[in-house]
Amino acid sequence: MKKWTSLLLALAMALSLAACGNSGTQENTSELPASVSGSIAEETPAPTDTEAPAEEPAEEPSEEPAESETPTTEDSSSVLIAYFSWSGNTEQVAQIIQQETGGDLFEIAPATAYTDDYNELLDIAQQEQSDNARPELAGQVENWEQYDTIFVGYPNWWSDAPMAVYTFLESYDWDGKTLIPFNTSASGGFGRSLSGLEESASGATILEGISFTEHTLGDAQSEVTAWLDGLGL
């Protein structure tokens, strides 16, 4: 009887130990980590083209583009209206002559502009005449050779042309050219300037000029038209 009791006890203990062993080795699989640091390599994006492939033209051009035409110089004027103007009166006459003849305008301007003060200007003009000065000019005429007829306009300063006008005249070859003077003044007309023009524009044919005062500028348009008709221009 005791022998069977011992066997039963031993069997019961063996079953109990087996149950405890199974309980300690079971894994919990209900939640897994999304990733393990260092265990999964990062994905590298596939390379993409940096430029889109060139598209072929829808159609080939049917012909070569036409070349631009080079403008001719046949319409270039042979008349030049060169003028020096301080107050604007001589410029006004120059513009009327330009309208009547279709010539090109050129302003005779000193490199250093004269003062706007009238009394100071008189002193400067008188000093330049005394020194027989030739003030430097701001610009030169381009294509001088194309002009056959040159109008030269200026105001009367101390009974003569401003010295800048003589700088202009002596800067070019006047052989075969026609020079036509025009002038503005208070009352003195051309003064002694015509002889100065003849000397400084050696070789030029000088035609009869026209002179205006402040009182006759109002009729400048009709006066210029009649003058030019008389010259055959």
* pLDDT top residue among 211 and 42: 211
**Whether pLDDT at 230 is above 50:** yes
pLDDT at position 75 is 59
Q: What is the pLDDT of residues 55-114, one digit of tens each?
A: 333 333 334 434 433 333 445 789 999 999 999 999 999 999 999 999 999 999 999 999
Q: Where does the pLDDT of residue 141 fall: very low under 50, low under 70, confident under 90, or very high at 90 and above?
A: very high
| Domain residue spans of the chain | 79-231
User: Quick check: helix, strand or coil at residue 194?
Assistant: helix
Nearest C-alpha neighbor of 151 from the set 83, 203, 211, 216: 83
What does pTM read for this prediction? 0.68
Neighbouring CB atoms inside 10 A of 96's CB total 20
CATH topology of domain 79-231: Rossmann fold (3.40.50)
Q: What are phi and psi of 158, to 5 degrees?
A: 55, 50
Nearest C-alpha neighbor of 126 from the set 137, 113, 114: 114
pLDDT at position 31 is 35
**Whether pLDDT at 30 is above 70:** no
Q: Do residues 77 and 151 lie in contact, with contact meaning Cβ atoms separated by under 8 Å?
A: no
pLDDT at position 214 is 87
- Residue 114 to residue 164: CA distance in whole angstroms: 11
